[in-house]
Amino acid sequence: MFKSIRHYTTVPTKVSPDLITEFVNGYYSDCFFILVVKSNKHKLGECVNLSFSINLPLNDSQVIKSFSFLDCGQIVKRKDSLNFIVKDFININAKIIPFFNKYNLQGKKLEAFEYWKKVADLINQKAHLTFEGLNEIKKIKLLMNNEKVLEDQFSLVLYGSNLSSTVGYPRYTAFERHLIKIPKSKLSVFIGIILSDAYVQKQSKGGDARLQFKQKYSQFEYFYSVFFQLSHYCSKGPYVTKAIIHKKVHYGLAFTTRSLLCITELYNLFYYEGKKIIPKNLFELLTWEALTHWIMGDGTYSSGGGITLQTQCFTIKEIVLIVNVLIIKFRLECSIHKQDNYSVIYIKSKSLKKNLHNMLPYIHPTMLYKFKGPKYKLKSKFTTIGPKV
């Protein structure tokens, strides 16, 4: 709990601004923060907040006094430190940004400040009130976070768990593209979304394949959770898609990976003569994580408590193979049902409940309703596009 709050509104004449930048440059953690939060008060359903926050040592009165030079913000007393924080945009714009423009930061702090300043410029232009501007801010926030990830890239970690985004990186050479592999920690995500909503395509006969993943806008959070996991394979961030179906405009989100040899290997597994198929080694490929993504994409909760897996694009022979894998490998009781002129797979309620604990670690909170029913559907507070119907 915070013990007390003090506001500094005067500027002492005998403090050095250089001490502020020296302390910030040497600070062990982040100081510049971009927050995109849900808000019912804003038309897009989300708002953008900037803050500058840093902990000051209790026993260094000179450093504490130097921050009064900024003539804004507040100091919150914690157990073993003082937290200096500036949250209101007027002071950020009028005092914090001009100060660090004048008294230069260095290294990682300078990089973070430059991203932070770009967002402040967009807010000044009221770009955050438009869908395009809000998406641009999210891209900047993503790039800013990726810079932080790069600091830890030489740590001893599980292979594949620390792959950083390559969004915005220059085009790879053919040699570099062939060096990129998909570790086991990412392969299950690829397998799951390919079985559901992702599409893999070759742009030319001799070229490598790339993957495109689309979701309707209401699945905004799940979509971004997938993108964050696979952004290592992307040169660009997500973009808005638009389709007109039955004279009605539908908006969505999509991202496309680079054209890579490792994606071509997936294409060769899942496509035959340009049509998506079920690979013969599905038993080895399918994991609990992959199955969870498949259900999040193509699963429908049934009133009886089971899940219908929409498999209309596969042949009856392929569907029988899927059922065998679900029964033998995952101990899921399944049956094949007719839906119009197509066949779908029904996973029975009893076996689903017995095995739900295997899928829960991979279920995105916004998609829990597909596994446990409509009462678990979170109320949408996402950015909307176009007129409300």
More confident residue, 382 or 212: 212
Residues of the chain with CATH 3.10.28.10: 4-150, 156-277, 278-389
Give the tens place of pLDDT for each residue, 313-322. Answer: 999 999 999 9
168 or 234: which leads in pLDDT: 234
261: left (phi over 0), alpha (psi -120 to 50) or beta: alpha
Calculate Rg over the CA atoms of the chain. Answer: 25
Which CATH number applies to 4-150: 3.10.28.10, 3.40.50.2000, 3.30.450.80, 3.90.740.10? 3.10.28.10
Task: Please write the tens of the pLDDT for every residue from 146-176.
Answer: 555 444 444 455 556 667 888 888 888 887 8
> Which among 330, 191, 365, 176 is positioned nearest to 261, based on CA atoms?
176
Q: Per residue in 321-364, pLDDT tens?
A: 999 999 999 999 999 999 888 999 999 999 999 999 999 999 99
Q: Which CATH superfamily includes the segment(s) 278-389?
A: Homing endonucleases (3.10.28.10)
Find the angle CA(383)-CA(367)-CA(297) to the nearest 5 degrees.
95
Mean pLDDT score across all residues of the chain: 85
pLDDT digits (tens, 9 = 90+) for 9-37: 444 445 678 888 888 888 888 889 998 88
What is the distance between the alpha carbons of residues 287 and 196, in angstroms, rounded to a whole number? 14
Helix axes 184-195, 288-298, angle to 10 degrees: 30
Question: For 167-196, what is the mean pLDDT?
Answer: 89
Domain 156-277 has CATH 3.10.28.10: yes
Write the DSSP string, 289-341: HHHHHHHHHHEEE-TTS-EEE--TTS-HHHHHHHHHHHHHTT---EEEEEETT
Measured distance CA(31)–CA(313) in Å, rounded: 50
Q: How many CA atoms lie within 13 A of 141 on its CB side?
A: 19
